[in-house]
A and B are shown apart, each in its own frame.
Chain A
Amino acid sequence: MTDEAVPSWEEVAHRYGRTIYNFAYRLTGHRDDALDLSQEVLLRVRKGLRSYQPGSFEGWLWRITRNAFIDETRRRKRRPTVPLPDDDRSPLGVAPGADEALAAMRLDDDIQAALLALPIEFREAVVLCDVVGLTYDEIAAAAGVPVGTVRSRIHRGRSMMRARLS
């Protein structure tokens, strides 16, 4: 998307909705939480587009997405809830007896669990880098921190993941 163009809300939802949902799912680890968060992000985008000034659209979008996650995390800290186990594995479409798919599913679960064990700042940096595919500069802009901090968070996050998975 060019810097000059101001997209419509529908265009944003079509183009980024899936990535926003995956970002939300990897950060929260739950389908319903990810859906709530994605809806909140798209709502903020709809409101924000009215006053959006052409510039780095993706920087703007991921700042909104990231802020929605942080706000939701703070809200939950004030009103803690116990999430129900998320047993929906339909995206993989595992058939009974498919050993390889089952092993992959377990591995995915382990990776997701290790991700959820990371402190929020590290989890956010790692997901924006490895799941969303942003550069360090883009992550720094979204999170409002220096690039050196992003570099440190990503490396420490990956080190913790590795220690937990091994």
Chain B
Amino acid sequence: MTHPGDLLSALLDGELTPEEIGAVSEHLDMCAACRAELEATAAARTALRSLPVLDPPPGLLPGTAPVPRRRMLRPVWGWVAAGAAALALSMGLVLGTAAGPAPMNLDGFSEQHTARILVQPGVQAVRAVVEAP
């Protein structure tokens, strides 16, 4: 038999007849190049089959709703509280206590600042349109 070539993948995939398997096996016994090719093909096949199965994004399949966008703005009272805290700080009304400084609310901090970053470009864009000659 000549070099089996394409039959090597078919051998790995169980797509050969018993006669073909016999002929290919016989050839492999005496051909180091085809044994190396079989090994390389098997490695590529294994690599492909090892790829993870991915979950489709929500919303593709029936009964799965798209994930709602996260709300970036805090409720009004949150802003009021944050403003009052800032005012108190600027007036020097907040003093250190024996227990040490209160822990910072990092979640609230990042939300406020993210919200400002999101709002600011919009404000500038509107200003640019209004103030344009």
Contacts and interface: CB of A to CB of B under 8 A. Distances in A.
Given A21-B54, A108-B51, A151-B15, A130 B60 contact: no
Given A13-B62, A14-B62, A155 B54 contact: no
B62 A18 contact: no
Interface in A19-45: 21-22, 25-26, 31, 35, 38-39, 42
Contacts of B45: 130, 158
Interface in B114-132: none
B32 to A, nearest CB: 17
Contacts of A161: 44, 47-48
Interface in A100-127: 107-108, 111-112, 115, 126
A12 B13 CA distance: 27
Interface residues of B, number: 29
A136 B15 contact: yes
Interface range on chain A (Cβ under 8 Å from partner): 35 or more
A67 interface: no
B60 to A, nearest CB: 6
B41 interface: yes
Pairs A-B, 5 closest by C-beta atoms: A155-B9, A130-B48, A21-B56, A162-B44, A158-B44
Interface of A: 10, 13-14, 17-18, 21-22, 25-26, 31, 35, 38-39, 42, 91-92, 107-108, 111-112, 115, 126, 129-131, 135-136, 148, 151-152, 154-156, 158-159, 161-162, 165-166
